[in-house]
Amino acid sequence: MKPLDCESNLAIVGDECAALVMDVIPQVMRTVRGTMRKFRPAELTETQFRTLFILRRHTGASLSVVADHLVLTLPSASKLVDGLVKRGFVRHEMSLEDRRRASLMLTELGQETLDIAYREAMSRVVTVLDGLNEEEHLIVSHGLRALQRVFAASRLEFDEAGENHEYRRSA
């Protein structure tokens, strides 16, 4: 995809805007993920580290949710989570309503591990954004808030088992 000349073409719409989002967001995420990888503890695999992030975003998630996000079988996800529990990064609590269901949560160690990587990634993003002038900061902030609003209103919904892959527009 060729870069768009934003100064002469500020009023991009439809497909062009979607293409720009699809082009830019992966670039941003490569920077964030690359920085976070540098601060991943050596004793954690990348998949284990990703599991901590899943549980940060989905506190109390079931094993099925973790397996779905990581595209793993339930037995593989179970083995992965058991290792994180044994090493003190994750804890699980049995549901009072359904004894077959466990809720997974980060421990203090798990949260601290993520906090370090998050702070470093945030610092890297700040450094990159320092290359923008004040007007560009304002434009980027407004654009990101708009994206946050529309993507929150129209998000991909999964049921607990990860079988309901439909777009649902929230009111």
Q: CB of 64 within 8 A of CB of 160? A: yes
Residue 90's contacts (CB-CB under 8 Å, 6 or more residues apart) are 51, 52, 55, 81, 84, 104, 105, 106, 107, 110
The answer on 123 and 136 residing in a single domain is no
Banded model confidence at residue 101, pLDDT cuts 50, 70, 90: confident
Banded model confidence at residue 100, pLDDT cuts 50, 70, 90: confident
Range(s) of the domain holding residue 154: 132-171
Domain count for the chain: 2
The answer on 138 and 55 residing in a single domain is no
CA 79/CA 86 separation, integer angstroms: 11
CATH number at residue 25: 1.10.10.10
CA 115/CA 113 separation, integer angstroms: 6
The answer on 85 and 95 residing in a single domain is yes
Banded model confidence at residue 160, pLDDT cuts 50, 70, 90: very low
Find the mean pLDDT for residues 113-132: 95
Task: Convert the pLDDT of each residue in 38-68 to its tens digit.
Answer: 999 999 999 999 999 999 999 999 999 999 9
Task: Convert the pLDDT of each residue in 128-156 to its tens digit.
Answer: 999 999 999 999 999 999 999 888 877 65
The answer on 137 and 81 residing in a single domain is no
The answer on 109 and 137 residing in a single domain is no
- Out of 48-52, 111-115, 158-162, pick the least confident: 158-162
Which has more confidence, 171 or 130?
130
Query: Can you give the pTM of this predicted structure?
Result: 0.71
Q: What is the pLDDT of residue 52?
A: 96
The answer on 103 and 138 residing in a single domain is no
Banded model confidence at residue 106, pLDDT cuts 50, 70, 90: very high
The answer on 166 and 138 residing in a single domain is yes
CA 161/CA 69 separation, integer angstroms: 11
Which has more confidence, 97 or 15?
15
Average of per-residue pLDDT values in the chain: 85
The answer on 29 and 70 residing in a single domain is yes
Q: For 163, left (φ over 0), alpha (ψ -120 to 50), or beta?
A: alpha
The answer on 44 and 126 residing in a single domain is yes
